[in-house]
Amino acid sequence: MFTLDSDGVFRAGNLSSVAGLLHGFGTRAPSNWPGDMPTAIVRQVHSSRVVVVDGPGEYGQADALITNRSGFLLAIRTADCVPVLLVDPATHTVAAVHAGWRGTVAGILRETLRAMSERFGTRIPDVLVAIGPAIGQCCFEVGPDVAAAFQPWFPERPDLDTKTNLDLREANARQLQAAGVRGANITILDKCTRCEAGLFHSWRRDADRSGRLISGVGWEI
């Protein structure tokens, strides 16, 4: 379950219940999000690289950030790719992930969970996950080469050797569950960035004219 706040930011119900947590999925509506909160960012390159951060700033090329520190947000920018926020309240660990199709195929979420576990002792079944606005299956048409790479996540589909449409959010949800996250801990915003022009930026719809949506997660001081 998600709510759209008056400031034009989507909040996930499962994350909103965590004391001291700040999070949100931005829209294209005029907004102060993320306001004056310091942020940690990366240069997103559609990889499976995860960086551990200890404060605000830019941390080079990667597509996932994790921390157990407070007082700043981990932030990513998307315009059709899947933004994923992960929270482990027990170890005070959070992650923000940019999952395009290349990162999804490369296992970006699997690598993020592994880093959370190895670095901070996260128990993967207990992680809470919110998957934000992204291109829907309705609009994500891919060629046979890309489709075939998703066979591990959609073994029931016989059409992945042809041009077809994929559900990128579902692929990431399945990757999370395959890595050990409980399905009940995953919530997905069922809105397509390409379809809903009034709410979201979309690269597939607007190409170079597209802006970016900011998603972030972090702990209050």
- What is the tens place of the pLDDT at every residue in 148-185? 999 999 999 999 999 999 999 999 999 999 999 999 99
pLDDT of 74 above 90: yes
**pLDDT number for residue 123:** 98
Task: Quickly count: other Cβ atoms within 10 Å of residue 80's Cβ.
Answer: 25
**pLDDT number for residue 24:** 98
**pLDDT number for residue 31:** 84
Confidence class for position 92, pLDDT limits 50, 70, 90: very high
Rounded to the nearest integer, the mean pLDDT of the chain is 97
Q: Kindly state which CATH superfamily the domain 2-136+167-219 is placed in.
A: CNF1/YfiH-like putative cysteine hydrolases (3.60.140.10)
**pLDDT number for residue 72:** 98
Angle CA(197)–CA(200)–CA(205) in degrees, nearest 5?
55
pLDDT of 218 above 90: yes
Q: Is the peptide bond before 34 cis (omega within 30 degrees of 0)?
A: yes
pLDDT of 30 above 90: no
- What is the tens place of the pLDDT at every residue in 101-130? 999 999 999 999 999 999 999 999 999 999
- Contact yes or no for 139/94 (Cβ under 8 A): no
Domain ranges of the chain: 2-136+167-219
Q: What is the mean pLDDT of residues 198-203?
A: 96
